[in-house]
Amino acid sequence: MITKNEIKNAQRIVIKVGTSTLNHSTGHLNIHQIDLLVRQLSDLANQGKEILLVTSGAVGAGLDRMKKKQKPTSIPEKQALAAIGQGILMHIYEKLFSEYGQTVAQVLLTKENSVHYSQYINSRNALLSLLKMHTIPIINENDVVAIEQLKIGDNDTLSAIVAGLVDADLLILLTDIDGLYNKNPQTHADAALLKKVTEITPHIETIAGGAGTKFGTGGMFTKIQAAKIAMSSGVTMVIANGSRKNIINDVLSGEFCGTVFPAREAHLKQRKTWLAFGKNISGSITVDNGCEAALIKNGSSILAAGVIDFSGIFSAGNTVRVLSTDNREIARGIINYGANALTKILGHNTCEFSSLLAGKIYDEVIHRDNMVLMI
């Protein structure tokens, strides 16, 4: 169970700030708000804490400079605006942080940096080296060059991946709302703030809702997905209102302002984190109740006899979700058989494979060493 002292004593902290916090409602940058953010982070760094900042706002800064009122829909235009805005945003951060005696470093990541394990480790080592140099890494997705298939998609997810990557103690998502409510507070006057969420259930995902502001890319739902990653990676996450004065200091003082998502005690090891959240998901397989019980109780491998269905077009070596009969995700893993081969062995015993398949035969559809439980 998370305690106030555990949050207060967090040493390595990732802060994600959204477009809605960085910008006025007009879409223009809120310099006063950015300065307040930088001041708080600089003070934490002066206390000896290790700080990483995941920032949105590059496209918004580009919109501001080019005097556009709405975000374009085409990818080339978005990338062009990100290219314009990234330099502007970094210039502001560098100027403000330097005034408080801090050195910053720009880090641009894409999904490609987490899909391949070698790049995953290289990214980790680079970030840890920056922290050892007592710098503040400022991280964003490389929107300028990322193609759709290699986009992480939103900075909520990016911040959770980064938090797991560097073994952070705490992830704070700053947004334009106080936290997760049991109902949409914009349409329900009786909506109540959830102070603590210990498990991401289908109900929690349902009440998370949809899209955010017209300038942002994420909504509460993406923050819940980020919580899944953070909690499983051993990182406590807090959603808090970025417009509230001194909000970061309030969170770290032990005031549970916002919604807290406590880290799981038995969190994933480095390779398991990469396997669960770094690699692209290519499809899913559904297992029967007996296979599900063996997975949860014993961490067993998945055999074809326990697989009752699958979806997606995937090849051997791809990562797939493992679903229960009621469509709950219970695991993720690297599959030994492509979709075409799996069609032939579905529900069969391993001893029958040689008569059904040509080429290399594996006893397991997914070996337990290449699988991680998601519950």
Q: Which CATH architecture has domain 4-272?
A: 3-Layer(aba) Sandwich (3.40)
Structure tokens at 308: 């009752």
Q: What is the predicted pLDDT for the residue at 149?
A: 42
Residues 201-229 have a mean pLDDT of 72
What SS3 class is residue 197?
coil
Q: Which residue has the higher pLDDT, 147 or 310?
A: 310
Answer whether residue 218 shows pLDDT above 90: no
Predicted confidence at residue 346, as pLDDT, reads: 92
| DSSP letters spanning 291-309 | HHHHHHHH-PPBPGGGEEE
pLDDT the model gives residue 275 = 66
Same fold, 4-272 and 280-373: no
> In which band, very low, low, confident or very high, does the pLDDT at 216 lie, cut at 50, 70 and 90?
very low
- Return the beta strands (E) in 201-278 as ranges: 236-241, 259-261
Judged by DSSP in three states, 234 sits in: coil
Which residue has tokens 């945003």?
89
Q: Which of 315, 313, 357, 317 is nearest to 334 (CA)?
A: 317
CATH code reported for the domain at 280-373: 2.30.130.10
Encode 41-98 in three state secondary structure.
Answer: HHHHHHCCCEEEEEECCHHHHHHHHCCCCCCCCCHHHHHHHHHHHHHHHHHHHHHHHH
Please tell me the pTM assigned to this model.
0.76
Q: For the packed helices 155-165 and 220-232, what is the interaxial angle rounded to 10 degrees?
A: 10
Q: Where are the domains of the chain?
A: 4-272, 280-373
Q: Which of 154-168, 217-231, 339-353 has the lowest mean pLDDT?
A: 217-231
Contact 144, 61 (CB under 8 A): no
321/262 Cα distance (integer angstroms): 24
How far apart CA 375 and CA 331 sit, in angstroms, is 7
Contact by Cβ (8 Å): 235, 171: yes
Using DSSP, how many helices (H) and how many strands (E) does the chain show? 15, 12
